[in-house]
Structure 1
Amino acid sequence: MNFGPLVYIDDDEDDRMLFQEAIEELFPKLPLESYESGTSFLQRLSNDISNLPKLIFVDLNMPVVSGEECLKHIRKNTHFSQIPVVIYSTSSSREDHSKCLNLGANMFVTKSRSYEDLKKQLKEIVMTHLF
């Protein structure tokens, strides 16, 4: 199976570490790129369109470039517009949920509080979008 990386963008280092650990446990052969800011991810995206992500998880509430801004940028560029984007946030606000889906997110998922629930969420999402 040949596919580009799964991408996770989150300013919280602990969340990035847990996400990476869960993905490595569930899908050891799946390449993962992790970014601490929307800015660093958007720079990567504009510098390397030869290896586009196959699935992007982005935290909603980040400083400087928010998850919403990342989503808008991804959806307005024809090279990236078909990449599935999952807003992965601590927010459970219906307003945030509706706004992100209207902007083109494929899913809006509230982060799990337990590691086992995180793994269940990620397995379901990745299986749905990649396999």
Structure 2
Amino acid sequence: MNTGPLIYIDDDEDDRMLFQEAMEELFPMLPLECYENGPSFLKRMTTELSILPKLIFLDLNMPVVSGVDCLTRIRKNTLFLEIPVIMYSTTSNPKDHVRCLDLGANMFVTKSRSYSAMKKQLTDIITQHLC
């Protein structure tokens, strides 16, 4: 498995905590960086380029800079073109799925409501994209 960090961007603190807990259980050796909003990650994206992320999970519905805006900015940065971006949101609206995929997301996943199902989703996604 690649050793660069996995990134998770989500404005919901509870979702970030559950994601982090699941990742520590499933992939304890995989570095994880969590960001509470688009601007905090976008700052990292332009200032900390010595180690690029291996995979980005991005929430769709965030204030200030939405997931769509963040995705657009990620895809405009040539250093990030090959990094998989997974839109990871509570929405199941097909229009949101299509829009994000059209903008360059590699996958759109609706967050599971159960912790065990979330761990299965994460295992499947990370195995598919990093192993």
TM-score (norm 2): 0.98
Distance 1:5 1:41 in 2: 13
Query: Deviation digits for residues 108-130 of structure 1, max 9, x if unmatched?
Result: 00000000000000000000000
Query: Deviation digits for residues 47-66 of structure 1, max 9, x if unmatched?
Result: 01111100000000000011
CA contact (8 A) 2:2 2:130 kept: no
Distance 2:110 2:128 in 1: 17
The equivalent of 2:76 in structure 1 is 76
The equivalent of 1:17 in structure 2 is 17
Identity of aligned residues (%): 69
Query: Deviation digits for residues 56-91 of structure 1, max 9, x if unmatched?
Result: 000000000111111100111111111100000000
Distance 2:31 2:11 in 1: 20
The equivalent of 1:51 in structure 2 is 51
Distance 2:64 2:88 in 1: 17
Distance 1:51 1:87 in 2: 22
The residue matched to 2:52 in structure 1 has which SS?
Answer: coil
Distance 2:13 2:120 in 1: 21
Distance 1:22 1:6 in 2: 13
State the Cα RMSD in Å.
0.7
* Residue type at the aligned position of 1:57: F
Query: Are 2:66 and 1:89 aligned?
Result: no
TM-score (norm 1): 0.98
The equivalent of 1:37 in structure 2 is 37
The equivalent of 1:111 in structure 2 is 111
CA contact (8 A) 2:5 2:54 kept: yes
* Residue type at the aligned position of 1:114: S
Q: CA deviation at 1:20?
A: 0.3
The count of corresponding residues between Structure 1 and Structure 2 is 131
Q: CA deviation at 1:2?
A: 4.5
